[in-house]
Structure 1
Amino acid sequence: MQRSELKAFLRTRRAMLTPEAVGLPRGTRRLTPGLRREEVATLADVGLTWYTWLEQGRDINVSAAALTRIARALSLSATDETYLFALMGLSRTEVTEHHFTLPPVTQQVLDLYQAPAFVLDTVFNLLAWNRLAGKLYDLGEFGGPFADNHIWNLFMNPARRRLYPDFEDGALNLLGMFRMNYAAHPEDTRFDRLIAALTAASPEFVTLWQRCHTAPLSAIIVPFFHPDFGDLSIHSMRMPIRDEDHLDRATAFFFAPADAPTATSFARMAQRLGGG
């Protein structure tokens, strides 16, 4: 799976980069939508055969220095470069598999927060949430084998889809974070099971997943719509929760209002739910 993902990732990024963007002439006989392999090899100062084998996912020796030059040649973002290194195993830390347990104080912190807040594990399964998050996402109202998974609900739960006025942007952002987790935890077979299930169930997931988008945990502003909350503009803050081995095993999401109407909506809903 990692080798297949490497092939798709490199080819997608190469196709997205125009010759003009890297100072190369387009010419009159170009059939490739983006850069040619030989152009990437030249820009990265690596052999064409070696780069071809890399893009084909062959089992070859790859140094950190060469991979850095490939990343620069393809104009990869910081998250893209991290993802590429993780796919090649150069930034990977092998860990023994264990079950992550949230610190007992986590639920107390979520309950004290006067806006939606929740925690997802590495594969985006829901671990904890407060009342406002439960109301916003209608948690517990959807069934199936992946009922607690944030990504599965995004594509398969009609009520969840309606939260996003711009579904593609919202989906790409979540898939970008999910993809980073996937590369960092190749030993976790839950990723492959979920991806296989979504591939079989959702052509839309397949289309967006094949874009190989990556995204950091940094905060963004997200538009939402909910029949009870109304139109919302939300600062989505994401923070890793580390376990006793100092490994990122979960992510806490804290929503904060980005405008006055959203603040009013949150306050009204918190009062209705009894301060949750």
Structure 2
Amino acid sequence: MSSNSRLELGQFLRDRRNRLRPFDVGLPSFGRRRTPGLRREEVAQLAGVGVTWYTWLEQGRDINASAQVLNAVATALHLDSSEHRHLLTLAGVDARVVVPECEDVNEYHLTVMQKMLPYPCAIQNGRYDLLAWNRVYRFLIGDVEEHADGQPHNCLSMIFNDPAWKTAYGERYQEVCHSMVARFRANMASHLDEADWIDLVNQLKADSAYFTEVWEAQQVQRSTSYAKIFNSPRVGALRLQFTTLWLDQQRDTRLMTVTPLDELSANRLAKLDAMVDSEPAVSRRNVSPAA
């Protein structure tokens, strides 16, 4: 960490500390305060670090600061995700490794997915967890809301464990599996020590011998736009283009738009939307569906 970075880091920490009051963090307030914010010893207490170490960090001294300790400081100071990443960047830590993935799905995202109808649209993270989806995406193959095998609404779990997905892809099933796992492995390179990623791999290995075989091939592939051809149980064969629009590329959260490659597929998507139009237009994980 350069001297300029250390000074900027110290100034940033002081500013965020001065913005908080004891009641903001559940601490009692005793005595008169010379400054409006928290005391350094209070931040150190909340973060579980030594007062001297935290003081030196604010003073811009040349000390070691691990990602784990910086995360604790970020939590103590109630930093939002952008501030958290900024703290880690100033400290010379790769924010992609330690900042949790964005799980937020806001009303603007839901509006975009609704406006995409009758075309499928969903929000995924780097683990292939579905965070939100519109109703045509939901019913493209089965019903994504029925899947909760330890990994709620996870596309890898679906394709390796749901026979309907294997049937839908037909002779291209193995190719699709290899491609998805290769992209997943590339995404995981920045999350190798994170429990959510490790648990997902272990669960998939336990559930599917074929996943284990594909995983051990050590293939990697970056996320790009791609075409898929498969048979929908409800409307028949579909030729679709999948396009990734990043919501937060640093944390692998993306909007997945799906558009037809021919008129027949477009008509069949419209037919599918009409078949399920009594369902909510968009839904999101762990949140009540939005009509």
CA shift at 1:99, angstroms? 5.4
In 2, the alpha carbon distance for the partners of 1:99 and 1:257 equals 29
Residue pair 2:231, 2:237 contacting (<8 A) in 1 also: yes
Equivalent residues in 2 for 1:222-241, closer than 5 Å: 222-241=228-247
Q: Which amino acid aligns with 1:223?
A: I
1:108 aligns with 111
Q: What is the correspondence of 1:36-47 to structure 2 with a 5 Å cutoff?
A: none
Match of 1:180 in 2: 186
Q: Which residue of 2 aligns with 1:162?
A: 167
TM-score normalised by length of structure 1: 0.61
Corresponding residue SS for 2:230: strand
Structure 1 residues 98, 170: CA separation in 2 closer, same or farther (over 3 Å shift)? closer
Equivalent position amino acid for 1:119 in 2 = I
Q: Whole-Å Cα distance in 2 between the matches of residues 230 and 185 of structure 1? A: 38
Paired position in structure 1 for 2:265: 262
2:129 equivalent to 1:125: yes
Task: Kindly name which structure, 1 or 2, has the bigger radius of gyration based on alpha carbons.
Answer: 2
Residue 93 to residue 119, structure 1, CA distance change in 2 (3 Å): closer
Match of 2:213 among 207, 210, 214: 207
Check conservation: 1:221, 1:235, Cα contact below 8 A: yes
1:95 aligns with 2:101: no
Q: How many residues align?
A: 184
TM-score scaled by length of structure 2: 0.58
Q: Deviations over 1:47-72 (max 9, x none)?
A: xxxxxxxxxxxxxxxxxxxxxxxxxx
Are the aligned partners of 2:113 and 2:122 in contact in 1 as well (CA < 8 Å)?
yes
Q: Offset at 1:98?
A: 6.3
Distance in 2 of aligned mates of 1:97 and 1:223: 33
Amino acid at match of 1:264: N
In 1, the alpha carbon distance for the partners of 2:218 and 2:111 equals 37
Following TM superposition, the consecutive aligned residue runs of length 4 or more in structure 1 with deviations greater than 6 angstroms are none
Return the alpha-carbon distance in structure 2 between the equivalents of residues 251 and 99 of structure 1. Answer: 10
| 250 and 229 in structure 1: CA distance in 2 versus 1, 3 angstrom threshold | same
Q: Output the amino acid matched with 1:155.
A: F
- Cα distance, 1:157 vs structure 2: 1.3
Q: How far apart, CA to CA, are the structure 2 residues paired with 1:111 and 1:208?
A: 35
CA separation in 2, counterparts of 1:98 and 1:238?
17
> 1:207 corresponds to which letter in structure 2?
E
Give CA deviations for 1:46-102 in whole Å, capped at 9, x if unaligned: xxxxxxxxxxxxxxxxxxxxxxxxxxxxxxxxxxxxxxxxxxxx9885434465312
Query: Judging changes above 3 Å, is the alpha-carbon distance between structure 1 residues 216 and 98 closer, same or farther for their aligned structure 2 residues?
Result: closer
Contact 1:218–1:237 (Cα < 8 Å) also in 2: yes
SS of the residue corresponding to residue 162 of structure 1 reads: helix
Q: In the aligned structure 1, how far is the partner of 2:145 from the partner of 2:96?
A: 35
Q: What stretches of structure 2 of length at least 5 have no aligned partner? A: 1-92, 282-291
**Maintained 8 Å contact 1:100/1:249:** no
- Is the contact between residue 101 and residue 125 of structure 2 (CA under 8 Å) also seen in structure 1? no
Separation in 1, partners of 2:128, 2:231: 22
Q: Which runs of 5+ in 1 are unaligned?
A: 1-89
1:223 CA displacement: 0.8
Is the 2:237–2:265 Cα contact (8 Å) retained in structure 1?
yes
Residues in 2 aligned to 1:271 and 1:108: alpha-carbon distance in whole angstroms:
19
Q: Is the 8 A contact 2:100 2:251 kept in 1?
A: no
- Contact 2:243–2:256, Cα closer than 8 Å, also in 1: yes
Q: CA RMSD in A?
A: 2.3
Q: CA deviation at 1:252?
A: 1.7
2:162 paired with 1:139: no
Partners of 2:151 and 2:101 in 1: CA distance:
20
Residue 253 of structure 2, aligned match among 245, 250, 255: 250
Equivalence map 1:23-34=2 (5 Å)? none
Contact 1:125 1:148 in 2 (8 A): yes
